[in-house]
Structure 1
Amino acid sequence: MRLRTTLLLGLLTGCATTASSKPEAPTPASAESAPPSEKIDLKALAARELAPLSKQQVAAPDGSFTGEVEAAGAPTLQQEEGVLVMSVPLGTGSPLSCFVYSQPLDAGDSIYRLVRMAGQHTNLTLVRTTDVRLIGDSPAVYAEAQYLVDTPRGKAAGQAKMMVYTHDQVPLVCTHDELGYAESFKRVTSGLAGSLKSAAGTPPAPRYFEFHVIRVKGHPVGFEKRAMREVAGGARMTEVESSLLLPRTPQELMVQDTVSSEVADKDGKLVARDYARSRNGELDLQMSLEQVRGREYHYEGKHSGKDLNGDFTAPADLATEPATARLVRERLVPGKDKELTLHLYIPSANPVAPVRQVLRKTAGGARELTVEMGSMKGSVTVDAQGMVEKVVMPMGEGLELVQERLHVSGTP
């Protein structure tokens, strides 16, 4: 299994240009400056917003998708290799630039690359995520890079706003390089993303779907999306996509993207698992696990550039998401068991052997649990089906990572 591919061609209006042109520093249209004798109100500029604009229809020249976007005039579209470039006039100093890709995107990797491109030609002063939301059935991550740049008139301030929409059929990246219009940017790009329709049609809905937002100190820093589908022989496949974008410094993000899938047989036993993880845009872990017979499994893949290949015998049946949910709702929540000890294959914790996880009920409520795995301890809240609603994990220095479910549909 490969992690999603990112093919960014140069997305910031001022900080970077298309692949066929030379990157330049932000222009006065995107960075605000004034002669030494004058002062500009940067706070007022940063607070600017747009009233709703009229909707303009957009369509791929090859007919692969259609949509609509708020605009002050007709958008222009240009086909490049692997990407359709859309320029949307907003009636401000800089247009909205959007890019529709032919291959899936990873949210963290895409934001990371955009920020790096901005930093090549500016002095970044603040980089942060600003929102994480579900549009249709796909995540969208918003971020901004505030910067200073030298101009003939002195230092100029700029604000590059970014959005990555990880739709499987119509992946979208949008940027707007101009002080202000932050909420307008979210409104316009969310509307565009939600309107996109692929000519391939809508794929069948999974039997179960959920979407979680991850926060630190109340600030959105990532997401987790989960879908369960029926497969042959009564088996069930669970697919998970996640991105985490944590601030390393005020000017830098540390990002991690993961995609994984597991197949459980009709009894909930693990048949196969695939897992891939990238950090800061570099694939550092990619593993596959297959059941040989019973509790015997074969693994192979790479970890930090090192090839791994071998076998192990699990001490107990390896837990899967459907089986764990069933045990939690039937045994742990009703109080039939005081704790559950699970054995899981989690490559990020140990790529060559199962790991042990213990779930216990707390005194706080029937659906509140503690979770322990090695030195890691946290708390979990589950729903009536035994599925996770909320996770709280300490990060050190008094910080907690909180993962909370915002959307759910279907039956696990």
Structure 2
Amino acid sequence: MQEILTMALSIPGARLDDGRLISPTTTSSPRRARGRAPGALRGAGLLALPLSLLAGCGGSTGAAPAEAPAPGPEPAAHEPFDLEKALAREAGDLPAREVRAADWSARAFGAGEPKIEPKEKLVAITIPLGTDSAVECFVYNTMLDSGEVIRNFIELLDPAKVEVSRVVPWEVSVHRESPAVFVQALYLAPTAAGKAAGLLKIALHADRAHPIACLHDEVGYVRTFERLAKGIFDSFDAKSAAPKSEYTDTLILRVDKAPIGFETSDLFKDEGGQRRWLSRSATLLPRDPKSLEIEDDASNVLIDAQGRIKGGVWIESSAGKVNHRIELSQKANHQYEYSGEVEGKKVQGTFTPSAKAWLASPVATASELSRLLKKKGSFDFKQQEYAPSVDPTKPVDVQYARDASGSVTVSLGPMRLVGSLAPDGRPEAFELSSGPPKLTLQRAYTRGKL
């Protein structure tokens, strides 16, 4: 349950590589990955229009309606430009086309054959829609920090050249057991014909072995882009897929009804019998209509035979900088040693939990809560947990209480999460009790047993 608390606190994040947690010392910028010049992405997505016609569009949510509208015609040259009409444009039915690289294949909806361009650490794919701008996708060969990838895509919109009107996540979903995040940015740019509008759409699938990022820079075609990206995410099949976990679950974080992030956790059992709990999360919290506070978080926890924390690594980062990187290991007599950096300052020391016992892992915590859930009536369960985002120097007190109605409250200091647990003891649905706005966590996917 530590993951719920850190997500609710909007904790920054981590970078992972080759299955190991490392500091994000390098960026995941697709521009540098492809060697393209800044601004090359934006040209095809601009539609010239008078600035006065944009009045009133800033209050739009940026999300397309639930039902995909029929394709809208291009505005005639003599007609005033209708931005909302352009935003509602969609492509017609597009056939599925095979995309194949050295060790993977997928299917993509497109108006023409995809162009495939292998690179050193990724494969770039260009997929025509039959519109002014093609969809570009990047298939990476190493685990990435999801929020940082999205942040670098958004930063392709150079503030010296364009004015961003709004940035909003519009979808978080699960595909092949990994979460995907969809973000769109509406922007304006000066041209010889007047102001021009562009809509940059971004999709990131956080697969552990082959993350996939897609983007499309053209006003409209939101549902077309979403369908294309999800089709690739769902159909992707790799010979070098990541090892399958014994258990996995994914939570989606929302503010009111708007999705703003995810948390996905996996339980692995290595060849030697060592179990580890890998947790990754990303939050994209709107700072204002024009920007997002993007943060990543990851932890890799080693679990001993009794389900207790043997050691681990916790990393947080945001805006390309590490907020903290902490390593923890068991010593003698129920003592733990921690070391690392917090906000650029080194920290090191030891602590002993107040119960003079080893700390319970997320797996052991879920197992105990599952046992309590099977009993009738209320319960009140307290323990210490390690949450370095709260305090890296010592464990924190966490309380799990079920009342007579069956509602479960998770408490850490002044914070309260109220909701329900799944039968396996993992979170089902919780709401932060201090709203508004209403912050909720909802389980979206699970497989396996703890």
Give me the TM-score of the superposition, normalised by structure 2. Answer: 0.83
Q: Name the residue aligned to 2:445.
A: 407
1:81-114 per-position Cα deviation (integer Å, ceiling 9, x unaligned): 4332211111001011111223222221111121
Higher relative contact order (CA 8 A, sep 6+): 2
Provide the secondary structure at the position in 1 that maps to 2:375: coil
1:130-163 per-position Cα deviation (integer Å, ceiling 9, x unaligned): 1011111211110000011111111111111001
Q: Distance in 2 between matches of 1:315 and 1:349?
A: 17
Q: Name the residue aligned to 1:253.
A: 292
2:265 corresponds to which of 217, 220, 226: 226
Q: Distance in 1 between matches of 2:291 and 2:235?
A: 32
Q: Distance in 1 between matches of 2:154 and 2:346?
A: 31
The change in CA–CA distance for 1:215 and 1:35 in structure 2 (over 3 A counts) is: closer
The correspondence of residues 149-298 of structure 1 with structure 2, limited to 5 A, is 149-200=189-240, 202-231=241-270, 236-298=275-337
1:183-226 per-position Cα deviation (integer Å, ceiling 9, x unaligned): 110100111122222232x4443221111111111110001111
- 8 Å Cα contact 2:373/2:425 also seen in 1: no
The correspondence of residues 34-73 of structure 1 with structure 2, limited to 5 A, is 34=49, 38-60=79-101, 63-73=102-112
Provide the secondary structure at the position in 1 that maps to 2:329: strand
- 8 Å Cα contact 2:31/2:38 also seen in 1: no
1:291-346 per-position Cα deviation (integer Å, ceiling 9, x unaligned): 01241011111111111111111112312212212222324662587311110111
Stretch deviating more after TM superposition (223-232 or 352-361): 223-232
Q: Which has the higher strand share?
A: 1
Provide the secondary structure at the position in 1 that maps to 2:220: coil
Q: Distance in 2 between matches of 1:305 and 1:104?
A: 24
- Match of 1:372, as an amino acid? S
- 8 Å Cα contact 2:28/2:152 also seen in 1: no
Q: Name the residue aligned to 1:321.
A: 362
Provide the secondary structure at the position in 1 that maps to 2:22: coil
Q: Name the residue aligned to 1:2.
A: 22
Q: How many residues align?
A: 400
Deviation for aligned residue 1:358 = 1.2
- 8 Å Cα contact 2:326/2:341 also seen in 1: yes
Is 1:26 the counterpart of 2:50 in the alignment?
A: no
Q: Distance in 1 between matches of 2:246 and 2:143?
A: 22
Q: Name the residue aligned to 1:391.
A: 430
Deviation for aligned residue 1:79 = 3.2
Q: Name the residue aligned to 2:381.
A: 340
Q: Distance in 2 between matches of 1:381 and 1:20?
A: 48
- Match of 1:33, as an amino acid? A
Provide the secondary structure at the position in 2 that maps to 1:49: coil
Aligned-residue CA RMSD in angstroms? 2.3
Provide the secondary structure at the position in 2 that maps to 1:117: coil
Provide the secondary structure at the position in 2 that maps to 1:118: coil
Q: Name the residue aligned to 1:14.
A: none
Provide the secondary structure at the position in 2 that maps to 1:346: coil
Stretch deviating more after TM superposition (78-87 or 320-329): 78-87
The change in CA–CA distance for 1:90 and 1:336 in structure 2 (over 3 A counts) is: closer
The change in CA–CA distance for 1:113 and 1:45 in structure 2 (over 3 A counts) is: same
Deviation for aligned residue 1:249 = 0.7
- Match of 1:79, as an amino acid? P
The change in CA–CA distance for 1:203 and 1:160 in structure 2 (over 3 A counts) is: closer
Amino-acid identity (%): 29
- Match of 1:71, as an amino acid? G
Q: Distance in 1 between matches of 2:163 and 2:89?
A: 23
Deviation for aligned residue 1:233 = 7.3
The change in CA–CA distance for 1:149 and 1:239 in structure 2 (over 3 A counts) is: same
Stretch deviating more after TM superposition (184-193 or 104-113): 104-113
Deviation for aligned residue 1:409 = 1.2
Unaligned runs of 5+ in 1: 12-16
- 8 Å Cα contact 2:117/2:124 also seen in 1: yes
Q: Name the residue aligned to 2:184.
A: 144
Provide the secondary structure at the position in 2 that maps to 1:283: strand
- 8 Å Cα contact 2:30/2:153 also seen in 1: no
- 8 Å Cα contact 1:97/1:176 also seen in 2: yes
Unaligned runs of 5+ in 2: 1-20, 52-77
Provide the secondary structure at the position in 1 that maps to 2:112: coil
Q: Distance in 1 between matches of 2:172 and 2:200?
A: 17
Give me the TM-score of the superposition, normalised by structure 1. Answer: 0.91
Q: Name the residue aligned to 2:165.
A: 125
The change in CA–CA distance for 1:311 and 1:363 in structure 2 (over 3 A counts) is: same
Q: Distance in 2 between matches of 1:388 and 1:22?
A: 43
